[in-house]
Structure 1
């Protein structure tokens, strides 16, 4: 566990992507099986330990220290694993025993009942130091939050074995922890494993943002234009009787969308945008992203959710046409195949992303400024001669998103962050004014935790501490009055109506774009501004 704990510590404290990859490669090189594979599974979210729950750990720690003292400590630290690891009062007689390895921990928890698992954790907490205790709790409860995505971990594997990350991704869904066959291949001591996954994931092709130097290269002869829809990117693969729906990162999300999986009566692999809506006379009527969120991140979906939030896929590319791999074909030829392919599919679950005609770049400027639907984020521009290449090549595909909306809002609540931010108030809730102008009051409209520098975070944290009016566990209420408060310039992609928020609106992808230390709070925006923007987008619909 000590080596795994050291890895987590270093990953949290290493902000650079390449630095994280180097740490992972070094760990894979010096750590034996099965520990390195189990660490990999924990990082990628593929290690499931079901018999240790946070509530059990809270009860356990209260057996060792005063309950109120722990509550105060948890309030200050803001992270359960970090709090327990710091305040745990170890049994010195047990501590003299040798600490367990990562493999010992995982194997023992897999065999244990829930009550036995808790006592195992108790014994290990006595044996480990604070850093390893933190790693143990994070391992057992999930959610490492160390700034390493599954994709980055796979890139580290590719660098470790000097292979293309595409090879790793195409094998991944046929492998299981602790990945001993995978590591043997990467170390050249065994043959490459054969993918045992039916309907495997194929790494997706990504676009790059369109920037001003590239404007001159975009013309109707060389590029096709499509709308960029505000859903989630999915890959649909049906082969040999297996049907799978993958996210763009290769996560299997089929269980959350059985209505789509049931309608995948084809052989091949399609690329598209997952949306929600309902069948209409002239096609499928699209719902807002907030409607799609009702279906995301669920282990199971209810019959009512299937009825009220039916899903469909707007298809825009084809990778396999039956058994034929067509990724090497030019986009224009793949598009012709796709048009024929989609005609055979259920029109209530699949439709074709339309091409957007344009004569010159000026047409695109106007289309981007005034799209015909509020669920459109901007434009996709695809080189007609481009093959389907995994990764993010520069030039074949561009995305040209609409300019974000911007409002001024007032900071009203702050919450402690996680990981290396756990000592800072870094999650901010902001509000706008409503009510009579003579007696205005603030109503929260969103929350953001990025968009500022490390130096700005320190200033924000100090401001929160010096202007706290109330405490609610890890949350602080911040002084916010017409003449005293902090104005945040907030950028966001769009708005949805929301019954969950008192304001009645929910922001899409809010982030802090500027700190307005110079602006008095009373000059921040009013709720009517957001309501007018929401009406305008609905009118477009």
Structure 2
């Protein structure tokens, strides 16, 4: 546990990607099985163990210290695991310091209350950083700047293999990955998981942004896109999925490999083919067109789907690519060749649950600009641009694919509420609820229309935090209400991808991917936008 806690500590404080990789490789090299396998499972989000609700941990710490003192501490720190790790009253000598193996093996066999008592005894003998690591393991929410992809890259570096080799077998492996490490150590054969309809790692795109618009020497200028080299498709606002049917097994995966088959039995029913498709999961509207993203949201994360919902929100897949056709793995073919195979494949499948993403003619760059910003359907986010000669590579290779999203919508809003962030932001107010004006008989009032927690720099975060502290007018648990009147407050320019109707929100609308675009220190609050202006945009 000590070594794992030390690793997490160093990863949190290490901003460099290469430095994080070096830390992970060293840990895998120095740590024996099965501890390094369990650590890997925690880092990749594949740690399967009894999870404790945050309320259980709060109740536990209340038995050791004054409730009000804990609430004040939690309010200041902002993160439950970090707060408990710092304030926990130790009882040294009450138990032996556990290893990572001890934690996993014991908690897997214990009932809920017994497991909670075991965690309590471990908290007594661990130091603050070790307590934090333990609590993050049992409550989830580990945020240390290490993605599953980065952890797999570290494995590839450790074993001197290509990351694609690890990605191809990953979903057939189970923690603590003894066979995987034996292979990487040169002491065993490469694991060959025997699973039908496996997930294949998806290929991702880089943003297409001109060098004039961002300070990145590797930015690709749109002027370099030509019809001879690139194909173009619409970028639909749905869920990227992979539909795999092999033998008698049919599965539907998200882009990260999560199996969502149970939520879409209508899709599985029509997967009578043998192969693997890459595409966008969408819902069909009554008029036959694509329904809004909110219609798709009704289908997500459901264990069962009613007949009524299947009828009201029928799902379908707009296919972008084909990875496997019958027994042929097509990923090494060019996009041009795969596109031809995809069209022939879906023609044979002959199902209205699957169609081919239409190609958009590549022409003058000014015409392409118009197309990306004025697409023919409101649920199109822009353009996808793919080299005709590109093979299908897992991850985000530089050069073959680009996403050229339409310019975001912008609105001037007023900050109404703020809340502390998590992780390295736990000492700052970094989550902001903002609103726009609605007329009232006696003037105007603000109504909340969204929440944003990114889009600003670290320096701007400090200024925003100072504004909240100096302008707090009320408190609601961890939330701070700030001054927000027609004459006082802070205006922020919010960028967002789209709007949709939402009866769950007081304003009646919900924003897609809101984020800070600019902080308008110079703008009077009375000049912020109105709800009517957003409703016009929603109608459009």
TM range (shorter): over 0.9
Matched, 1:223 2:230: yes
- The Cα of 1:371 is off from its aligned counterpart by 0.9
Asked whether the equivalents of residues 270 and 351 of structure 2 are also in contact (C-alpha less than 8 Å), the reply is no
- The Cα of 1:437 is off from its aligned counterpart by 9.2
Q: Distance in 1 between matches of 2:112 and 2:31?
A: 29
Aligned twin of 1:204: 202
Aligned twin of 1:86: 86
Aligned twin of 2:133: 135
Cα distance change of structure 1 residues 386 and 186 upon mapping to structure 2, 3 Å threshold: same
Matched, 1:465 2:469: yes
1:34-73 paired onto structure 2 within 5 Å: 34-50=34-50, 52-73=52-73
Q: Distance in 2 between matches of 1:7 and 1:277?
A: 47
Asked whether the equivalents of residues 44 and 153 of structure 1 are also in contact (C-alpha less than 8 Å), the reply is yes
Matched, 1:14 2:14: yes
Secondary structure of the structure 2 residue equivalent to 1:435: strand
1:100-499 paired onto structure 2 within 5 Å: 100-212=98-210, 214-278=221-285, 280=287, 284-345=288-349, 347-436=351-440, 439-499=443-503
Aligned twin of 2:217: none
Matched, 1:75 2:75: yes
Q: Distance in 2 between matches of 1:410 and 1:318?
A: 46
Aligned twin of 1:503: 507
Asked whether the equivalents of residues 51 and 109 of structure 1 are also in contact (C-alpha less than 8 Å), the reply is no
- The Cα of 1:358 is off from its aligned counterpart by 4.7
Asked whether the equivalents of residues 263 and 346 of structure 1 are also in contact (C-alpha less than 8 Å), the reply is no
Cα distance change of structure 1 residues 505 and 155 upon mapping to structure 2, 3 Å threshold: same
Q: Distance in 2 between matches of 1:350 and 1:515?
A: 44
- The Cα of 1:438 is off from its aligned counterpart by 6.6
- The Cα of 1:229 is off from its aligned counterpart by 0.5
Cα distance change of structure 1 residues 93 and 210 upon mapping to structure 2, 3 Å threshold: closer
Aligned twin of 2:213: none
Asked whether the equivalents of residues 220 and 360 of structure 1 are also in contact (C-alpha less than 8 Å), the reply is no
- The Cα of 1:270 is off from its aligned counterpart by 0.7
Instruction: Using the TM superposition, name which of 475-484 and 16-25 deviates more.
Output: 16-25
Q: Distance in 1 between matches of 2:86 and 2:229?
A: 60
Cα distance change of structure 1 residues 327 and 45 upon mapping to structure 2, 3 Å threshold: same
Consecutive unaligned residues of structure 1, counting only runs of 5 or more, are 537-541
Cα distance change of structure 1 residues 416 and 298 upon mapping to structure 2, 3 Å threshold: farther
Secondary structure of the structure 1 residue equivalent to 2:538: helix
Secondary structure of the structure 1 residue equivalent to 2:20: helix
- The Cα of 1:359 is off from its aligned counterpart by 4.4
Secondary structure of the structure 2 residue equivalent to 1:434: strand
- The Cα of 1:304 is off from its aligned counterpart by 4.7
1:112-166 Cα shifts (integer Å, max 9, x gaps): 1112111111111111111111111111122212222211211111111111111
Q: Distance in 2 between matches of 1:306 and 1:101?
A: 49
Asked whether the equivalents of residues 52 and 117 of structure 1 are also in contact (C-alpha less than 8 Å), the reply is no
Q: Distance in 2 between matches of 1:416 and 1:443?
A: 21
- The Cα of 1:279 is off from its aligned counterpart by 5.9
- The Cα of 1:436 is off from its aligned counterpart by 4.7
- The Cα of 1:317 is off from its aligned counterpart by 0.9
Secondary structure of the structure 2 residue equivalent to 1:285: coil
TM-score by length of 2: 0.93
Q: Distance in 2 between matches of 1:54 and 1:369?
A: 44
